[in-house]
A and B are shown apart, each in its own frame.
Chain A
């Protein structure tokens, strides 16, 4: 098992470098001089040149890249053009909000998704199954911003149960979390159901029945663990997809998180800030994928115990 773990980590490192390089290159093939874009057309060329030099933009791209990686490894993602502040600091201010939002959303998604998936599988092809799977597919098909808008309209505006926006109290976090988690809940429910239905076809399920287990015992005791192994992996993966999906929820509910930073950075053409947020989020996501994969290795005895 440990050799597998080592291999996985070894594969992740070049992917990580590749991703950072890709972001770096993509942001630098932008037409026009970044400093000119930032300051506007009518600024003294001497000033532009000075700022460019300060930011190291006069260096070849390869040199810039290695400098960037070198600094990033020390936790320095550069300085924001607009806010004139260290990008790392800006990100770390916004990061806790995004993490809270994503984790809460993950809990929402897991609980709703797993429960609905199991119930649907048990009542396969009955009314409840159709109903839950219809809802799940709707969850998967609804744009995140739509869920957010509908929740905001119904529960914040009409029923006044929750604040319309902000992220300063637990109460304010609930709607954004549901909006963000709803989508994942749909995919988790679908996957839980289909895995469970598939696992129930296995020979060892027949054995469990032949042993004298009753149907719920068969499901809870024998089918669930097998069915959930891949779902657990997917659940961890969902957290990372939430990190990026948070962009939309944050925008609807006015949550001061990383997603908002990225959108602002695009609007204000603040390249270092955009680069920082994207690199930061992507690193987290790659780490999350790795964690999901390792978790699977630990949970599945066939891999853990070796053949």
Chain B
């Protein structure tokens, strides 16, 4: 039971990170109708920028952890958001009215560009950082000596996710931008006729998605203590699985799917085999797409001829 609870905590933390990435997939799919294959690599870039900012701040002699975290989060969100904007502008916008496979292929190309760009720019070796947030709480200690721990970093990850999700839900449901986004999702031509700047709205979608991915990258860096240039690929596919599982196009769905994938992966590793944890995640993707293509909270897609 104690082991189970500990895995539950670990799974929820991992799921929060997946959920943050999944939001980027689900928003872009909802509005543009394409899988932003490069989104996993945007997450990786976010992690790298967070690492570099952190390193620069530490070398200036700054020691206050909350200040460092705040600056790192803002800088990595801003720069990664610009990456998202540029990617959309360069690789996707010219293809918006092209044939249906073109954006997907362009996205795959972009994913290669980002992966190898960071390999060339930052080297192939794994970059570790010392733990920034240490300590934690012992929730329960069983007679057998097994300890359930809730570390501070886990608390930070979950709270950051909840706060961001709250801000983001407010943004989509209450602001002008959110209204424009929902309008574009339903009908781009009609939205344009009613005065919505479709290009700008799509750009903003990519910007927000990339900013959230940057936060996920930072959380990953803090939680696991390392980044490398290849981490975007698998994390990206898992987050996409989360988006599909939750119902693509649905924001609460993405978060729910992220948590589900995080839990499944953690429990699979804990009770079955660590080697096959990625196989489990990919199998879930296949099974969900086949038997439940609309996901948990998605709307069925009506096919138009």
Q: Does B associate with A?
A: no
Q: What is the interface of chain B, defined by CB distance below 8 A to chain A?
A: none
Q: What is the interface of chain A, defined by CB distance below 8 A to chain B?
A: none
